[in-house]
Structures are given as C-alpha cells and as structure tokens.
Structure 1
C-alpha cells in the first residue's frame, strides 16, 4: 500500500514537472488570449502569452500568487497550484469595454484598438457558432457595417462605405485574395472561405492601401484562420469539434468537423465542411414582383416555360459546396514559429438566378445560366521570427503563397441550341516580408511585397442537340499577366499616454500585359500594356482625453490600378449590351477624410459615431463606348450596344455611421448600428448620377441576454428605400431586379425583419443553437440583389467539442 502511495506521489510530481506551460483563454469562447501579462505580486517574475495564449510559469513556486492582466479582460490572481489543478488552463472574463481590443489587420501585427485612428469591426469564432452564417459573406453581414448583395444563392458581394467588388480588398491570413479578374460587377468569390475555419475576422472601414496596396479603396476584409495548438502536457494531445446544422428556408444541410493534434513543437489542424442547399423559399408578405411564377425546363430536347406550383420557391437556386483546410505548425524555439496553410474549396454548378428571371417579351430570356464549379486551391507558408533588441526589427513575418482560382460561365438562350461557355483560371504567386520594431516613442512597421497573377481563359460553344463543340471568344485575353511590386512604412507615434499619431507611405508599381485574339472580333488594337505607379499615404490621430470621450481623425489616400478584367474582358453586361476591352486606362485615385468619436459612460452606455467623405478621381466605370465609330456589334448572335470600362471625371461618396451599446446589467445589453451612405458620379460634361454601389440606409439592433449556460438574442434588421430617381442608370435599366412603383418604375422598397436566436450549453462539450429568422415572413430583396431573401427560416445546429 505504501508502495502504491509512493508511486502515486512520484507520478503526480512527474506530471507537475511537465505542466509548467499553461494556456490563458477567454472564459466564454475558450479562444486563446495573446498578450496577457503574467507576473507575481512583487513583479520580480513575469512573462507574456504568445499568439496561442501560452506562457511558461516554471519560475513560479506552487504557493506563489500569479497575476494575469490583459487590457480587454478582467484581471485575475491565482496560486500556481490552483492553475495546475485546473489542467493548466486559466480563464479570463472579457471586460465590459472593448476599447482596448487588440487588432492585427491595420499593421499586420497586434495593436491596441484605442491607438488606431481607423475604425475596425471584428467577428470571432464564437460569433460564427452563435450567428450560424451560411457563407463568409453572411459572416461579414453580421457585423452590421457591411452590406451584402446577392445575385444567386452561391453569392455574396460585400459593400463597405459605398464601395464594392474590386474596390475592396480581401485577405486570408494576410495573403491577398483578390485576383486580376475581380470585376466591377458583383463578385461571389468570398463564399470560398469557410466560416468554420475562421478564428477571427477584422474589417477595416476605409482605405487600407498603405499596408495592402491596390483595391483597398473602401475597406479591407481580413480573415484569420484557426491555428494548430501545441500540447500543454508531455506527449501529444488531441481535440476537435463537430457541427451539424439545418435551415428550413433553403433546406440547408451542413456538416463540419475539425481536429487538432499537438505535441511540444509540432501541431496539426484539419478542417472539413460540406453544405448542401436546396431551392430558397422567399417570404409570403411583400411585393408580387419577386414571385417565381414560371421557370424553364428542357423536355425531350425542347425548352418549355413551366408554371411554378409554388411561386415562393425560387426554382434553380440550390447548390452544394465543400471546404477543406490543413494547417501544420512548427515552433522549434521561442524565436521561430512556422505555419503552413493548405486550403481547398469547390462548389457544384450553381445557377445565376438573376439571369434566369430576365424576360424577352412574354418568355424568359435564358434557358440555362449557371456558373461552373468555383474552385480555390491555396497554400501559404509563414515564418515568424522574434529578435528583440537584436537589430533593425523585433519581429518579422515572411509570407510566401500560391493560389489557383477556377471559375466558369455557361449560358443558353430560350429556344436556342447553342450553349456558350467560358472557363477561367488564375494562377497567383506572392511573397511578402513585414517587420515590426518597438521604439521608445511607439512602433515602426515596414515591409515589401510582390504579387504575380497569370490569367488563362478559354471560350467555346456547344450544340446541345449534337454535342459538337467549337472554339469561341474567351472572356479575357488568354495568357495575360498582372504584377504588383511595393514597399511601405508605417509609424505609430505615442505623443502621450492618451494621444497617438499613426502615419504611413507606400509606393506600388503595377504592370499589366495582355495580348488580344482578334479571330472573333476585329479590335483596333492587339495588346494592352500598363506600366504605372502610385504613391499612397495615411495620417491619423487617436486621442482619448479622459475615460468618457475618445476622438479619432484620419486622412488617407488609396488607389486601384486597372486589372485584366478592366482592360480585357468581353461579356454581356445587360440585355442588349456588351462590354469590350479598353487598353487606354489609368488608375483611379481616392482621397478619404474621416472624423469619429466614442463616448463611454462607465461601460454602461457607449456610443461610436463617424462621418467620412471619399473623392475618387479618374473613377473606373462602365459606360457607352465605340470601336472605330461603331456603337453596336454582334455578340453571340445578337446586336448589342458597345460598352467599356472607362475613366470618368470623378466620383464622391460620403456617409455617417453610429453604434450604441447599453449594458443594463452584466447579463442584459442592447446594441444598435445604423449606416447612411450616399454619393454621385460626374462625367466630363458635369452631369451627375447616383453611385451604383452606395447602399440604402441599413442597420440592426440586438437585445442580448447572457446567463451561465444560456444566451438569447432578439434582433431586428432594417433597410431603407431607394426610389427610382435614387437608382444609378445601370440599375434603372435592370427593372427585373426590382419592384415597380405606382408609375411602373423600378425601385427598392424598405424592409425589416424580426429575429430570435438562442444558444444553450447542455454540457461543457455539447452546445445547441437555434435561430428563427424573419419571424413575420417578409418578402424582400436587398438592394441590387437578384434573389429574394429567405422567408421565415428556422436554423438549428449542434456543436460538440471533444
């Protein structure tokens, strides 16, 4: 018996000896907390948690009290023995104030939010599990500051402060996601990013060209994927999650699992998600203009217009999607941290619903219109090196990446036997080296970046009755390239404890080379070569004179260089119009000014407001064009008006946004967000028209109750109205997207939805979520969208952690 006791004591001491590394996590979300200060009462011993919340406490004695302190969490004091008894996990409570939140996106390294002059909205993995976004686009929409347009179920085109598509930049783990064929029309590429793989999303509202280069005019969306976790005990550890979800409006069925294997120096994370969507059901109460009264079927080789038995069902909207991610992490020492990320996403064929509801006379115009599988294959390798006080940097980040994007378009007119198909592949390579240096008065960030894109594009047409195919005009010039070379520097200068100045400069050089195939169209040019540079800068001030008031002022410039889509595409922009190449383009240049303020009354009542204005010079817009005097050409057998992307005189976008938070108690709070955007485009003649990408007024309000195991959220989403005169000319001609007003003109009605979400932790491992969306079953279509939103929609999900 004594021998057994002795062996047990030895075994316990053995475990304790190897349990000196601990992890600090947030109490509710269980996510690691970086930058937690760890010290004893005399401060003679100290440490700080790394990106995964890990810190070594070997130097502390078992009876010693250890203090854990973090700017956005409540401080905590524990004995070392208490920490060991809790399996080396320390839980911190989130502070009621989020002013000191640490953000990564503005400088690619962690910064206190209160020191940053730009506004940043964030979404965590906890928010993903609670809000149940079907795609990454829906995840962005949940911030209340990003407007989402959809042309089909497999869609989601973000809009930030009146800018959209290729005037916004997307990154994944700091790697540029935009390609050389991101278009000025709505883009759905963001759906390739799996919400379940995301640890944190940060959205920079306003220009971000200093750090991110071309396209970051209206904002930057940064997706940070989950990192593998090391083992905190001797040997290896295993953990994971499994999620199952169902949504009634689209009959969505989603399954997800991820698992992590960790050792002392190596860690591996695998994540896989599969989603199957059926045809989407719209609401019962709203404009009849949105009903799907008929659709096309091909019966015995003949196109037939069929009456829809249930006009609320948007026939030809369903599709399926697979997302997979593999991460490998190796940390041989405290100075080096290597991360390898591999990503793969693919969809089935998915219909472009807005094209399938267009009419020509009494018949639907298209018999088929669908995107081929949208595929994204990517790999990136990142190496973090810490060299404190040893040279010109304290921390450096080296990133090299490879990406391959594939997409296809397939369309056939009603009653025609020719199916037109274009297939695109973009191969991208990039390399970046970023640095951070702590100075006595602040922090210096600088770096270099190179991006290379090659576009391969093919076109063909197929007779569906015989199966015979022949080559046809491609959408883009095959073999064209887009390159970007850049260097930047940014300085955060602490003028005082409550006053920070941040400024930066970036020089970016862009090279575009494209050769046109004139076998199908007789263009008066054979190639497009763009060799241009842009210098952008930013200067901002963040001032917090007291605990109540905070000010931020920011001035910045941004640019967007023409890409392959701008200079070289051929496609039907709208019925009876065709867009053709224009090699005579130059970059558009934006200047933005912003003033914001925060009010915080003892963390009980908080306000955040901002006003901004952006001037866009030489704006790239689609307008009527001519080729050697010709304004109409034949495109796919139809006479079509000629259009092209051109540099307009100027554009201006301005707006106001305000947020509010009321903490009635620790368990009950109210949040609200409202956004107003407006703007105009002006041509060389001084004529002004509304900006197409300026969204209507929109926002949301949430009443949230939190108990230990239960979370409830009663919320409303609301959207303002655009009358006919508020629509841009390109939208006025797209009457099939909108409801008709009393004069028969298209307009976008206002709408609101009532919603209720709940989350309950049955056990520490099992969590149940349920959301009832659009309780009053409203029938509405968000501005510029081609598909009506879901009607009453019950979403149920279960998440099991092991």
Structure 2
C-alpha cells in the first residue's frame, strides 16, 4: 500500500512539473489571453510562441537566464526561467502606448523595428479592427484618424493621404499591387473590394513609398495583410475559426462573415467568406437642408417620373450588396521553404452613382439612371519564401499575382430612351523578387526586381430601353491598350550606433504604354501612342534615438507617377459641360518630398508624435482645357461640351502637420487624439494658384478608451473644419450640387463633428459581443468632396463566436 501511494505521489509530482512548464500570457489591463507572444533565448538557443489560448510550452527553456518575451503593441519582458517559475508560470504584458517598438513590413517588405524606419507609418492591429467594427475597408481606414475618406456613393471610398488620392496613392493586398492602368485621377472606389472582416493587419506609409513600390506611391502606400494560414507547432492536426454577424440601423446593414483555419505541421488552409447587404442610407436630422433628398426619378411603365421623397433624410437608391471570398493554401516542407497560393474574389451588385443622381438641368433631375455595374475583382497570388542564407542573400521571396478587374458605367438622361454603357476589363500580371542580406550586425541591404503588365479591354454601346436595340458607341478607353513596368531597387541600412540608423535607397523604373485610338466616333488628329519613359527615384533618411523614449527621424526623397491608360486615352464627361478626351503626349509627374518627425514618451503615461511634411510636384498631370483639330468644343452623345484633357500643365505644393497624443490616465483608461492639417496648392494656366483638390480640411479624432477585464469601450469624437468657398478647388466649385451654400450663395463645406461610442464584451474564449452608436447627436453632414451624406444616428450590434 505504501509503495502504491508513493508511486501515485511521484506521478502527480512529475505531472505537475510537466504542466508547470506551460506558461499562460495575459494582457495586464483586460486579462485577455495573448496569442503570438514570442519567447527567445540564446542559452539554450531556442524559441517558442503562444497559441490561441495564450499558452506556450517552456520545456526547452530550462536553466535559461535570459528569455526575451515580445509581442507587437506590448512592452518587452526579459526574465529568467527561474523568475517565470516564481511568478507561477503566469505572465502579464503591459500595453505599450508608443509605437517605437513595433515590428513592421511596409518600409522594406521585410520585418524591421519601426524605430529604425525614417517614415511615418500607421499601423492598425486586429484588436483595433474588432473594436472599430467597420462596414467596409474604407470605413476601417477612416477609423485610423489619419486617412481622410471621400465617398461618391455608399458603395465607395476614396482615401486621401497628405493631399493626394486616387492614382497618387498605392493599394497593396498581401504584397500585390492593386493599382492598375485605369486607376483615375477622379475618385477610385477599389478599396471596398478588400474584405474588412478578413484583414489581419494594416500598415499605411504616410508619404512617398516609390523606392520600394514604384509608380503611384506619391502620397502614401496602404498595405493590407489578410488572414494568413497558421500551421500546427507539432504533428497534431486541428482547426479553428470564427463566425460573425453584424447589423447596423442607418442602412439596415446585414453582414455575415465566416473564416476557418485547418492546420497541420506542413499544410495549412484558410477559408474566409463575407456577405453584406446595405439598404438606402439614412442621413442625420440636424444640418443643412441642401444635403437632403427632396425627390428622385422612378420609371413606371416605361415612363420616367419625378417622385417626391416622403422621407427627405432617406438617400433613395443608395443601397447595394457585396460578396467577398478568400481561399489560401500554405505548404511548409521544412524550416527553409514556404509556399502559399491565395485566391481573392469580390463582387458587388449594381451601385448607383449617388452624386450623379443629384445633378439637375433646368431645375429638374438630369439623370433617370446612373449606376456602376458590378465591381468585380479576382486575384490569384503565389508566394514562395526561402530562408537558407548564402553569400547573396539571407532570405528571398517571390510573389506572382494575376488580377482581373471588371467595372462598367451606365447612364440615361431623364426621359431619354437611350442608355449609354461602357464596360472595362483589366488583366494585371505582376512578378516580384525580393531579397535581404545582412553584413555583420550593423549593415543590411534589401533589393529586388519587379515586372508588371496590364492589358485593358474597353467597349461602349447604347441600348434603346424600349426596343432593346443595341448599337456601338465610343468606349471609355482605347481597346487593347497595354501598360508595362520593369523596375529594380536597392535599399541600404546602416546602424551606425545604438542610437543612430541611416537608410537610403534608389529605384530605376522603365514604363511602356501602347494604345491605338478608335476614330469611328471622334476624329482624333492622332492614331496611336507609344510612350517609352524611365524614372530614377531615391530616398535618404535617418532615425536618432536621442534617449530611451525619444525617437527623431528625417527623410528626403523623390517619387513619380507614370501616365497610365486612364490619363492618356480616356473619353468621358468630367463635370457638367466638360468632356475629357485622349492626350497621347504625356510624361510622368515627379515629386520631391521631405519630412521630419518626433516620437516622445514621457514617463510611462504620456506619449506623443508630431510630423511635418512638404511635397513639391512638377509636371503634374491635371485636367485642363484642350483643343481637337483646332476646336475647343465638341458634340458628344447629343451634348455640346467644352474639350478638356489630362496634361503635364502644373506644379503643386503640399505641406502640413500630423500629430498624435496618448495619455494613460489610469492603467485601464486611455485618452488619444489625432490631428491632421494639410495645405495644398496647384498652379493654374495663367500662373495663379488654386487650392489642391485632394488636400483635405483639418480633421482629427479624440478618444477615451476604457479597458476593464472583459470590456473594452471607446468613446470618441470625430471632427472636420469647414472649407470656405474661396478654399475650394476649381473642380469642386463646378460641382456646387454637392455642397451647402454660404451667406453669399457660394458652395462651401460646413464644419462638423460626431460623438460616438463602441464597445466589445468578451464573454469567454468563444463568444464576444460588439455594440456601438455612431453619430449620437444625429448630425447631418457631408465630408469634403463627397457625393453622399454621411450616416445619421447609427446603432450597431455584432456577435462573434470562435470554434
């Protein structure tokens, strides 16, 4: 009996010893288990990472005197194994209110510490996304507090960054460039094709990123990293996933999202799908009457009729629906190789171009119909990583992407039987090889090559809605146009000391554009264009850790944007009475940028950052008056219009300040503020200057964030300053139907604010609930340059379950 009892006690002792080697890591503020916390030791040489439950096995760390424990967004801990044991194998990480220690990918395409990067880079983490609970990725960017969002319709969102937008800012999805040859200078809505519910992390470079990313990255680069397949840490197989359902009242949104990860030691699979249905959007009750919807067109028995809106706050014909799907497969045969294939697919219903439906002619609504056909995007992505170093590189990665874009436009004048339509298809193929090599502990280079090919197919037709007879019409772009880019880049980093890091880079880009113009409908004085141009860009910067909690950075660099098919070959009505026609003689626009910034942490409770920037653009591609065959006007689709074209006809200057403040009032209560001021001017034909169209007004947000055990609550104020009539760009003054009128009857943008609250309650590891009220005071406002009025008071409910 004694022996049995002794054996039982020994078994219990060893079982406890084995169990005790499992460490649980939690958030010190919320008590939430933390996944992906890394443990690293040099003696013994080993590493580990916490699982979904925040648990990690430290069996291999016994006798380690120095274990470095890190997680993005938290203060780093350094403990010995014995100290961890004394803490009862339970660790609590403290949130880091400064971003100095963050690890980012965007600056060089490789992981590096943010404190070594001489750029302003905004990060948005999974917890931020869950708390923001956005309807679309456009709304997600708005919640960062540093990206301004324009919307022409509910199914849209065109980001403005530091005075630039559309084809002067770059969108990347998992390292693949989304910008294509028909990204326009007008507002671009492609960001909504990215499913906000599948985004794992977002990084936004505020300012030029041309050296690494090439053409278009003048104002900034938006990098979206979607759900990545996760492997099993041992030979076991398991799966996990999430289901989310969300409803919001302002447009009766109904969203359902599902994702599943299947993991084994060498194979991993991720499936993600979302469906959203948005009905007509309701605006707020307190604000300018000019923003209301007094009437709309309805076709009854084939006859267009103007109907009085019985609820002027309901933005009739603004609703739409959307489907997103992602499938990823990853294979890791050993420690050196990694293979991943991903399929992204997004499609929408028809989306009414709401701002165009507001236009009037002779007092009546001009259009009976103006809508985009389904915005469809498909991306195939192959990624290969190799991490066995040699004399040429330590790590290498290969990315190949093939994307297909389809978009269409359809419009019909009031009481007209003719519907005008154009359909565009773009096939975009890209290949990237990227490498990184370290030389000692202080020097490293990253380098790579890139090839991009875009083929554009464009058709136009007219249809009689009564007889259904169809006839050919001008296409929006030259059918069969081709845009190509070949580039090589090199970036060098030297850690001169523990405090000072120097970084520089250079890129060479060769661009080809070939297009043949159809002269069937317009007698152009040219037949084709063949653009063959090249550009060098470079950057130079440094970061200086003046003290433990003080980081300074400075950078200067150049950026460029090569003319694309939209610039060279488009024909369309830009504003009432103005028709944009092709211009085959364009050169790239070139930008010179400089910025300086500071990040400062004061004690453990206060941190702030301030960045000042200035960008000068020469040979800017802008819309200006033009002539064809000596004529300045043209009759097109039954309308006599002034002729305009995109031209290298201006210089532009943009400068401003971005600032942020974070105060830890209590360990569980934080106050955050973001403020953005931008001033932009462009040169006119007569030598005068005018406000730059995409320079947003002063905007910012102030947040009070409470974290208590299972609750996280965000009470925040969002605000925009007014834009006076004299501060509107000429192209915006032409669209006076979008704006309120000042005392003199001139268009302007009133200042506005919204008070909002959002909250997340995590019941347990399986269930969480989100709720919120946006625009609590029910303000009626329309953000600058937008065509649709923002939501009024909006109640949001969401439930998530993990399995």
Superposition TM-score tier, normalisation by shorter sequence: over 0.9
Q: Write the mapping of 1:75-224 to structure 2, written as runs, cut at 5 A.
A: 75=77, 77=79, 92-224=93-225
Give the direction of change, closer, same or farther, for the CA distance of 1:696–1:638 in structure 2 (3 Å limit).
same
Aligned partners of 1:590, 1:117: CA distance in 2, in Å? 18
> What SS does structure 2 have at the residue aligned with 1:730?
helix
Aligned partners of 1:315, 1:602: CA distance in 2, in Å? 53
Give, in angstroms, the shift of residue 528 of structure 1: 1.2
- Per the alignment, residue 483 of structure 1 pairs with 484
- Post-superposition CA distance 1:501-530 (Å, at most 9, x none): 111000011100001111111100111111
> What SS does structure 2 have at the residue aligned with 1:725?
helix
Q: Among residues 73, 80, 99, which one is paired with 2:75 in the alignment?
A: 73
- In structure 1, list runs of 5 or more residues that go unmatched: none
Number of residue equivalences: 796
Give, in angstroms, the shift of residue 197 of structure 1: 1.0
Give the direction of change, closer, same or farther, for the CA distance of 1:289–1:96 in structure 2 (3 Å limit).
closer
Give the direction of change, closer, same or farther, for the CA distance of 1:149–1:61 in structure 2 (3 Å limit).
closer
Give, in angstroms, the shift of residue 18 of structure 1: 14
Give, in angstroms, the shift of residue 33 of structure 1: 3.9
> What SS does structure 2 have at the residue aligned with 1:73?
coil
Give the direction of change, closer, same or farther, for the CA distance of 1:14–1:415 in structure 2 (3 Å limit).
farther
- Post-superposition CA distance 1:154-173 (Å, at most 9, x none): 01000000000000000001
Aligned partners of 2:157, 2:650: CA distance in 1, in Å? 29
Matched, 1:707 2:682: no
TM-score for the superposition, normalised by structure 1: 0.94
- Per the alignment, residue 772 of structure 1 pairs with 773
Aligned partners of 1:576, 1:698: CA distance in 2, in Å? 33
Give the direction of change, closer, same or farther, for the CA distance of 1:212–1:52 in structure 2 (3 Å limit).
farther
Give, in angstroms, the shift of residue 116 of structure 1: 0.7
- Per the alignment, residue 559 of structure 1 pairs with 560
Question: 2:33·2:54 contact (CA, 8 Å) conserved in 1?
Answer: no
Aligned partners of 1:427, 1:178: CA distance in 2, in Å? 12
> What SS does structure 1 have at the residue aligned with 2:765?
coil
Aligned partners of 1:384, 1:362: CA distance in 2, in Å? 61
Please identify, of 407-416 and 646-655, the stretch whose mean Cα deviation from structure 2 is larger: 646-655
Matched, 1:354 2:326: no
Give, in angstroms, the shift of residue 70 of structure 1: 2.4
Give the direction of change, closer, same or farther, for the CA distance of 1:696–1:57 in structure 2 (3 Å limit).
same
Question: 1:23·1:32 contact (CA, 8 Å) conserved in 2?
Answer: no
Please identify, of 522-531 and 680-689, the stretch whose mean Cα deviation from structure 2 is larger: 680-689
> What SS does structure 2 have at the residue aligned with 1:138?
helix
Aligned partners of 1:459, 1:216: CA distance in 2, in Å? 31
- In structure 2, list runs of 5 or more residues that go unmatched: none
Question: 2:24·2:33 contact (CA, 8 Å) conserved in 1?
Answer: no
> What SS does structure 1 have at the residue aligned with 2:290?
helix
- Post-superposition CA distance 1:531-574 (Å, at most 9, x none): 00000000111111113432111101000000000000111101
- Per the alignment, residue 423 of structure 2 pairs with 423
Give, in angstroms, the shift of residue 235 of structure 1: 2.6
Question: 1:47·1:55 contact (CA, 8 Å) conserved in 2?
Answer: no
Aligned partners of 1:159, 1:575: CA distance in 2, in Å? 24
- Post-superposition CA distance 1:310-357 (Å, at most 9, x none): 000000100000000011111111111112111000000010100001
Aligned partners of 1:602, 1:130: CA distance in 2, in Å? 27
Q: Write the mapping of 1:491-570 to structure 2, written as runs, cut at 5 A.
A: 491-570=492-571
> What SS does structure 2 have at the residue aligned with 1:211?
helix
Question: 1:774·1:792 contact (CA, 8 Å) conserved in 2?
Answer: yes
Matched, 1:598 2:599: yes
Question: 1:19·1:233 contact (CA, 8 Å) conserved in 2?
Answer: no
Give the direction of change, closer, same or farther, for the CA distance of 1:584–1:539 in structure 2 (3 Å limit).
same
Give, in angstroms, the shift of residue 56 of structure 1: 9.9
- Per the alignment, residue 433 of structure 2 pairs with 433
Give the direction of change, closer, same or farther, for the CA distance of 1:56–1:662 in structure 2 (3 Å limit).
closer
> What SS does structure 2 have at the residue aligned with 1:496?
coil
Q: Among residues 29, 38, 41, which one is paired with 2:40 in the alignment?
A: 38
Question: 2:589·2:618 contact (CA, 8 Å) conserved in 1?
Answer: yes
Matched, 1:396 2:379: no
> What SS does structure 1 have at the residue aligned with 2:560?
strand
Question: 2:48·2:58 contact (CA, 8 Å) conserved in 1?
Answer: no
Question: 2:621·2:650 contact (CA, 8 Å) conserved in 1?
Answer: no
Give the direction of change, closer, same or farther, for the CA distance of 1:91–1:442 in structure 2 (3 Å limit).
farther
Please identify, of 231-240 and 578-587, the stretch whose mean Cα deviation from structure 2 is larger: 231-240
Give, in angstroms, the shift of residue 61 of structure 1: 6.4
Please identify, of 675-684 and 618-627, the stretch whose mean Cα deviation from structure 2 is larger: 675-684
> What SS does structure 1 have at the residue aligned with 2:60?
coil
Give, in angstroms, the shift of residue 599 of structure 1: 2.1
> What SS does structure 2 have at the residue aligned with 1:619?
strand
